[in-house]
Amino acid sequence: MKKIKGVNDFVVKFANVNGTGSASANHLFAKTIFRMGIPVSPRNIFPSNIQGLPTWYEVRVSKNGYLGRRGGVDLMVCVNPQSMEKDVASVDPGGYFLYDSTKPLPTHLKRDDITYIGIPLTQMCMQEFEVPRLQQLLKNVVYVGALAALLNMDLSMVKDLLADQFKGKEKLISSNVQALEIGYQYALENYKCPLAIRLENGNADAPHIAESEHILMNGNTAAALGAIYGGATVAAWYPITPSTSVVDAFSKYAERLRIDPGTGKRNYAIVQAEDELAAIGMVVGANWNGARAFTATSGPGLSLMSEFLGLAYFAEVPVVLINVQRSGPSTGMPTRSQQSDVLAAAYASHGDTKQVLLFPATPRECFDMTVEAFDLSERLQTPVILMSDLDLGMNDWMSPPLEWDDKYEMDRGKVLDAQGLDEAEKWGRYLDVDGDGICFRTLPGTHPDKGAYFTRGSSKNEMAVYSESGEDYVQNVDRLLRKFDTAKTYVPTPKTHPPIEVKKPKTKLKIGTLFFGTSASPSYEAVEILAEEGIPIDTMRIRAFPFHNDLDDFIHDHDLVFVIEQNRDGQMRQLIMNECQIAPDKLTSVLNYSGTPITARAIAGKIRETLNTHSADVVALRPETA
């Protein structure tokens, strides 16, 4: 049997039971690899109940710095009998299967093309520890110890991290270290260590990670910090997975950074509303009153917030919404990731609406784009929706440290102060004097007798006076469309990369790929896989809606364009066709909507399959290998 080999380049997957304390042990494993200077990308795949159902934790180790999912499993650590049959089947040929050998492995779970590593986890814990709860919890630490020997991990570093984790709880440190050493010694005495897949301390920068110093951070925490640094003082929300930790983190940082140094009073307000409708209503009111306010939600909340988003769009009130997408529709799969709110967010509310969307791909962009969202929403006087997802929001990602320019000043947009009102020859709340569709506004209490107007969601004229005149209505909504066109000059531009040079291309077609958000990392990797096979592909990462004119140019400059996204209906493809007037046959969807993040292998496979249908232009390619 040919075994999988690799140094700092493999996938480990843990199969556990939710609620058994495995998460902290698995995170310890990933964090140790990160501390060793090796690029790592962990993902927690968990059920929406409290305990009892299968949960998985996947760790991608990549010397090249690929942070997306590759696909396939090289080493499975399975301690859950419920999912064992599925877990055995998921291991790539030549891979490894580590299991609890306290009980014999059923015959039907044995394969000839993988290596089995049996470790009596339960038996050892029952012999060494008396407390039943500890026996259950420390079983997870025992397999981390075994992995330390099998994969050549730095055991002293694992112990240091354990000490950090239980700082102030010294009684727990000794039992955890004991469990770690039990597993380590058992693996050394019973198996050839290290395996053909192993770790070596990082000694060179990965080619796909520009900066050498990185932190592990999730997107929700980064977005919360972006709200803090972007000047937010009000958060109104209703808890919903996977966005709850955005406001939790905002609250934590606000307690440190939003306290008046002179009086000790809080300079912020956080309100847990009775539902999502009330939450967005509070945010609209706070922004209208001059505060920088935001809310965070997911798909079901976005649906409920649509009417208030329509009000903010039509009354032109700044709003920032952080939407951490999950699998829908309805309740769907609350703890699974998708990019399935694209159309719902872009056209949120009834009538003719177009909302500004930002698509972060990394925690660093969650931070930067949240700050930018507050400036954009006030500059454009409209809602701005940050389109994150569960994969980015709740999983730890390697990220360059967040940076901040202390010279930053908030862009409040066209806001008239008292002097500006006195100097204005004519002012109307919805009067466009600059031709960019953006009108001057005032904040309540700015002037003793000027600048007042009635804010309403019904039709009005340029002076904000109620009107049912068709002419006034058309003038107003056409101006809003003009403002949306102006937004193209303000939102983040797309990122493009030319194709990797291929000496003997296997296709005459000029091929491009479009992707956004967390589809980016595996898409870049898939493009490199295909380049090695002789297929050069251009890439463009979409970062905002409205779309920049560069997107239209990119599509028309290619014979075939793949749109890579994580939903069933190809929503980004539909949005591009609708907004850019692109023929359907110009764009080919590459889709994933299983709830687990898309993989590089799946993307490359779909592109191969499609290109093979263009037999007149493409040389047949070898099939995907494991």
pLDDT digits (tens, 9 = 90+) for 376-388: 999 999 999 999 9
**CB-hemisphere CA count at 13 Å for 526?**
30
**Which one, of 592, 550, 549, 554, lies nearest residue 570 by Cα?**
592
- pLDDT at 168 > cutoff 80: no
- pLDDT at 625 > cutoff 50: no
- pLDDT at 608 > cutoff 90: yes
Task: Average the pLDDT over 346-361 and give the result.
Answer: 98
Query: Model pTM greater than 0.75?
Result: yes
Task: Average the pLDDT over 584-593 and give the result.
Answer: 96
pLDDT at 51: 76
State the CB neighbour count (10 A cutoff) for residue 466.
Answer: 11
CA-CA distance, 367 to 349, in Å (whole number)?
27
pLDDT digits over 495-505, tens only? 998 888 888 89
In sequence order, which residues have a C-beta less than 8 Å from that of residue 545 and are 6 or more positions away? 346, 355, 356, 357, 359, 491, 575, 579
CA distances from 190 to 13, 100, 113 (A): 22, 14, 21
Q: Which CATH number fits domain 495-620: 3.90.1150.10, 3.60.20.10, 3.40.50.920, 3.60.15.10?
A: 3.40.50.920
Structure tokens at 164: 């950090």
Architecture of the domain whose range is 6-207: 3-Layer(aba) Sandwich (3.40)
Contact 299, 340 (CB under 8 A): yes
Strands 115-119 and 215-217: unpaired
Buried b (16+ CB within 10 A) or exposed e, 419-457: ebbeeeeebbbbebeeebbbbbbbeeebbeeebeeebee
pLDDT digits over 127-151, tens only? 999 888 888 889 999 999 999 999 9
Structure tokens at 466: 């109620």
Structure tokens at 238: 């209703």
Q: Do the domains spanning 6-207 and 216-399 agree at the CATH topology level?
A: no
pLDDT at 362: 96
Locate the domains of the chain by residue range.
Answer: 6-207, 216-399, 495-620
CA-CA distance, 222 to 269, in Å (whole number)?
20
Contact 247, 276 (CB under 8 A): no
Q: Which helix (H) or strand (E) holds 603?
A: helix 600-611
- pLDDT at 615 > cutoff 50: no
618: confidence class by pLDDT, cuts 50, 70, 90: very low
CA distances from 585 to 107, 150, 540, 578, 594 (A): 50, 50, 19, 13, 25
Structure tokens at 144: 């981390």
In sequence order, which residues have a C-beta less than 8 Å from that of residue 12 and are 6 or more positions away? 29, 58, 59, 61, 73, 74, 75, 76, 77, 147
Q: Which helix (H) or strand (E) holds 245?
A: helix 244-257
Q: Phi, psi at residue 167, to the nearest 5°?
A: -60, 130
Q: List, as one string, the DSSP characters of 470-487.
A: HHHHHHHHHHHHHHHHHH
On the 0-12 / 13-18 / 19+ scale of CB atoms within 10 A, 534 is middle
- pLDDT at 620 > cutoff 70: no
182: confidence class by pLDDT, cuts 50, 70, 90: very high
Angle of the 22-35 helix axis to the 132-150 helix axis, nearest 10? 30
- pLDDT at 344 > cutoff 50: yes
pLDDT at 204: 53
Strands 356-358 and 383-389: parallel
Name the CATH topology of 216-399: Rossmann fold (3.40.50)
pLDDT at 205: 60
CA-CA distance, 340 to 596, in Å (whole number)?
13
Put the strands of the sheet holding 560-565 in their side by side order: 495-497, 537-542, 511-516, 560-565, 587-591
Task: Average the pLDDT over 413-432 and give the result.
Answer: 95
Task: Average the pLDDT over 288-295 and give the result.
Answer: 97
Task: Average the pLDDT over 177-188 and give the result.
Answer: 97
Q: Which amino acid type is present at position 190?
A: N
CA-CA distance, 179 to 139, in Å (whole number)?
8
| Strands (DSSP E) found in 390-494 | 397-399
CA-CA distance, 542 to 515, in Å (whole number)?
6
Contact 334, 324 (CB under 8 A): no
Contact 154, 129 (CB under 8 A): no
Least confident of 159-168, 236-245, 430-439: 159-168
pLDDT digits over 79-103, tens only? 999 999 999 999 999 999 999 999 9
pLDDT digits over 206-218, tens only? 665 554 578 999 9
CA distances from 87 to 58, 78, 110, 518 (A): 12, 7, 12, 25
What does the H/E/C string look like for 280-339? HHHHHHHHHCCCCEEEEECHHHHHHHHHHHHHHHHHCCCEEEEEEECECCCCCECCCCCC
Structure tokens at 571: 């929503």
